[in-house]
Amino acid sequence: MRGLVGFLLFRVLSASVTLLGLTLVVFTAMHLIPGDFTEVLVPRGTPEFRKALAERLGLDGPLYWQYLTWLKNLVSGDFGASLITSQPVWKEFAGRLPVTMELAVLSVATSIAIGAPLGLISGLAGTGRFVSAISRVFCGFTVSLPDFFLGTIFLYVFSKYALGLTVGDFVPLSVNPEAHFRGMALPVLSLSLLGIGTVAAVTRETVFTLSDQDYVFAATVRGRSMSQIVRRHFVRNASVPLLTVISIYLGYLLGGSILIEQLFSLPGIGRYIFQAVQARDYPVVQAGVVMIAAAFVLTNMLTDIAYGVIDPRMRAGHEH
Amino acid sequence: MSIEATMKFFVRLRRAMLSDTVSAVAAVVLVLILLISIFGPFLPIGKPDQIGFGPRLGGWSWSAPMGTDQLGRSVLARVLQGIRVTFVLSTVSVAIAGLAGALVGISATYFHRLADEVASRTADIMFAFPPILLGFLVVAIFRPGVTSAMAVIALITFPTMLRVVRASTLSVMRRDFMLVAEISGVSFVDRIFRHLLPNVANVIVVQTIYSISLGMLIESSLSFLGLGVQPPAASLGSLLRDGATYLEIAPWLSVGPGIILALSIMSINLVGDATRSFVDPTYRF
């Protein structure tokens, strides 16, 4: 396989295999739950209702047939219905998706906006013992402080003192944009601490790698100013490593937002799935896990494709 | 790797670590936390399950330096028990899953292309689940508890270790000395144990350290959601969960466990960084 088309095909195919695998894992996990699967789905249903449900969902057939039916329904957008509200799962998700997406987008933006300048400054400050000690301790701190503990601290401080940012009451964007962002700021900050640290660390490392490059040295010799070199060489070259950490960070956000949404009572997907776990609302858990894991696989696929587009050398690397 | 070589490795590692201020402080903090938590039961700070050790929701005092909780139990005693639980759970799961991941990683990569492909694909699929979601699936099958938390840590550690070891094995296999060993008739067992393994071992050690801190984070997250360690047992995460209930009137219930958790994870990570820079000279802080 050569060229961009082959590369794209390869990535899409490999992502599809992973997607198929993950549906198989979720399907197996749900069927490993003790008890008959119709009992798991409707614990309080009458035998007649269960039988009708089993027929409708294809649960009366052999296991592989059940899997295929479920897969077919997934693909056609039928995620099942919540046991508690009887609403289609898809409908429940659609209303909550924007909150989680906003949380993720704002967190990524904050991490870049704060992390990249920090990393650039510390990178340009050099590899002196003092600078590197500070940056190591800072990055170590951001990676190690659990987001839910930071969120807890925020909750305490901001509910005790009126500091402008609010906690605990979510206001939709359409109702009052200002109150909305006041409420979103703390969850976003809790989630972005890790991002800030990783983005800063990667930016710092890129600055080092580039400082060793001959063309950067040549630019210095030609009398280019520091800001010109940063703009021309550093910013461009940092994009690939930044893309890597951001895709990893997005994966972390998909899981991390569950804790933060729960802590700050945000009506997002993560909190919904968690409530479903507590209520044993298995169709919702099943659909939610598949959706988030699929989102993660698709993010990775897009990242890989972006690599290939930015840097043609990367295309070859994926064809083991 | 003989025992002697392993000893030498650790002596040199210790010297390198102590010569660097940040790493030295991190190592000392880590050792202190572990020592205090091991000797916690012998310290005069009350038992973790001793109800009425002090006043209910009492603040700081000499006998209970981190305050007391809603049942009058000493928070410090509970935190020390919590570190033990969190650390042991994570270490045991990482040890089992990491070893398995390393074994599968090395053998699949070395022996068979198809096995390698299957192992890598499996790792990709397991990688697609964020730890908490994996926790949801595991809890649905096994019910919340210690076993579920350990299973989740293991399921996260395994593919990570597998990937790292696979990459390292591939790069070592391409090195000239492996070819030379094969040509000069070094036996198959010796090639694996004397040539391949010592060069992959570094990576395994570093990844194990990082995995332990990640495992502690996963365990606390799950316990914070109430899916991990169940009462009356306590881990740092479940202490934070209990603390959240009384956050406004008794913030010390959260502060103690949170700071100790963050400190342990951070010191393990920094020790991991130091080990990494020791075994991999191209890695800069």
Q: Are B91 and B212 in contact (CB under 8 A)?
A: yes
Q: Which two structure tokens, joined as six digits, stand for B20?
A: 């660097």
Quote the minimal CA–CA distance from B62 to chain A in Å: 24
Q: Which chain A positions have a beta carbon within 8 Å of B219's beta carbon?
A: none
Give the pLDDT confidence of B162-195 residue by residue, as tens digits: 989 988 888 888 888 888 888 888 888 888 888 8
Residue range B4-30: mean pLDDT, rounded: 83
Tell me the C-alpha distance between B10 and B3, whole Å: 11
Q: Are A109 and A249 in contact (CB under 8 A)?
A: no
Q: Which chain B positions have a beta carbon within 8 Å of A21's beta carbon?
A: 121-122, 124-125
Read off the pLDDT band of A320 (50, 70, 90). very low
Q: Which chain B positions have a beta carbon within 8 Å of A294's beta carbon?
A: 128
What pLDDT, on a 0 to 100 scale, did the predictor assign at position A304? 82
DSSP letters, chain A, are --HHHHHHHHHHHHHHHHHHHHHHHHHHHHHHSSS-HHHHH-TT--HHHHHHHHHHHTTTS-HHHHHHHHHHHHHTT---B-TTT-SBHHHHHHHHHHHHHHHHHHHHHHHHHHHHHHHHHHHHT-S-HHHHHHHHHHHHHHHHS-HHHHHHHHHHHHHHS--S---S----TTT-HHHHHHHHHHHHHHHHHHHHHHHHHHHHHHHHHHHTSHHHHHHHHTT--HHHHIIIIIHHHTHHHHHHHHHHHHHHHHHHHHHHHHHTT--SHHHHHHHHHHTT-HHHHHHHHHHHHHHHHHHHHHHHHHHHHH-THHHHHT--
pTM of the predicted structure, to 2 decimals: 0.87
Q: What is the number of CB-based contacts under 8 A between chain A and chain B? A: 139
CB contact under 8 A, A140 and B269: yes
CB contact under 8 A, B141 and A33: yes
DSSP state of B191: I
Of A103-112, A205-214, B118-127, the range with the lowest mean pLDDT is: A205-214
Quote the minimal CA–CA distance from B2 to chain A in Å: 34
Q: Say which residue, A308 or B274, is predicted with more confidence.
A: B274
Which residues lie closer than 8 Å to A154 by C-beta, 6 or more apart?
A: A167, A186, A189, A190
What pLDDT, on a 0 to 100 scale, did the predictor assign at position B53? 67
Dihedral of the alpha carbons of A259, A263, A265, A269, in degrees to the nearest 10: 0
Read off the pLDDT band of A1 (50, 70, 90). very low
Residues 143-172 of A with CB under 8 A from B: 143-146, 148-149, 152-153, 155-156, 159-160
Give the pLDDT confidence of B72-98 residue by residue, as tens digits: 677 788 888 888 889 999 999 999 999
Does A106 score more than 90 pLDDT?
A: yes
For tokens 């190690």, what's the residue?
A: A144
Does A318 score more than 50 pLDDT?
A: no
Quote the minimal CA–CA distance from A129 to chain B in Å: 9
Across the interface, of A133, A146, A285, the residue whose CB is closest to B220 is: A146
Q: Are B255 and B237 in contact (CB under 8 A)?
A: no
What pLDDT, on a 0 to 100 scale, did the predictor assign at position A93? 87
Give the pLDDT confidence of B213-270 residue by residue, as tens digits: 999 999 999 999 988 888 878 888 888 888 888 887 778 888 888 999 999 999 999 9
Does A107 score more than 90 pLDDT?
A: yes
Give the pLDDT confidence of A131-158 residue by residue, as tens digits: 888 888 888 899 889 999 999 999 888 8
Nearest CA in chain A to B268: A144
Quote the minimal CA–CA distance from A174 to chain B in Å: 30
Q: Which chain A positions have a beta carbon within 8 Å of B124's beta carbon?
A: 18, 21
Instruction: Check residue B43 and give left, alpha or beta (phi > 0: left; psi -120 to 50: alpha).
Output: beta
Of A168-172, A281-285, A314-318, the range with the lowest mean pLDDT is: A314-318
What kind and span of H or E run contains B149?
helix B146-173
Across the interface, of B221, B273, B284, the residue whose CB is closest to A208 is: B284
Quote the minimal CA–CA distance from A228 to chain B in Å: 26
CB contact under 8 A, B261 and A133: no
As a whole-number percent, the residues of chain A with pLDDT over 70 amount to 93
CB contact under 8 A, B137 and A21: no
Which residues lie closer than 8 Å to B235 by C-beta, 6 or more apart?
A: B82, B85, B86, B89, B219, B220, B223, B228, B229
ipTM: 0.86
Nearest CA in chain A to B214: A144
Highest mean pLDDT among A202-211, A222-231, A302-311, B146-155: B146-155
Read off the pLDDT band of B1 (50, 70, 90). low
Q: How far is CA A15 from CA A206, A240, B44, B121, in A?
A: 29, 20, 57, 10
Does B27 score more than 80 pLDDT?
A: yes
What is the number of other CB atoms lying within 10 angstroms of the CB of residue A236? 11
Residue range B129-155: mean pLDDT, rounded: 88
Q: Which chain A positions have a beta carbon within 8 Å of B122's beta carbon?
A: 21
Quote the minimal CA–CA distance from B40 to chain A in Å: 24
Tell me the C-alpha distance between B271 and A144, whole Å: 13
Highest mean pLDDT among A44-48, A106-110, A176-180, B144-148: A106-110
Residue range B202-221: mean pLDDT, rounded: 92
Average pLDDT, chain B: 84
Read off the pLDDT band of B152 (50, 70, 90). very high
Highest mean pLDDT among A180-184, A185-189, A206-210: A185-189
Q: Which chain B positions have a beta carbon within 8 Å of A255's beta carbon?
A: 130-133
Q: Which chain B positions have a beta carbon within 8 Å of A247's beta carbon?
A: none
Nearest CA in chain A to B139: A277
Does A313 score more than 80 pLDDT?
A: no
What pLDDT, on a 0 to 100 scale, did the predictor assign at position B231? 80
Average pLDDT, chain A: 83
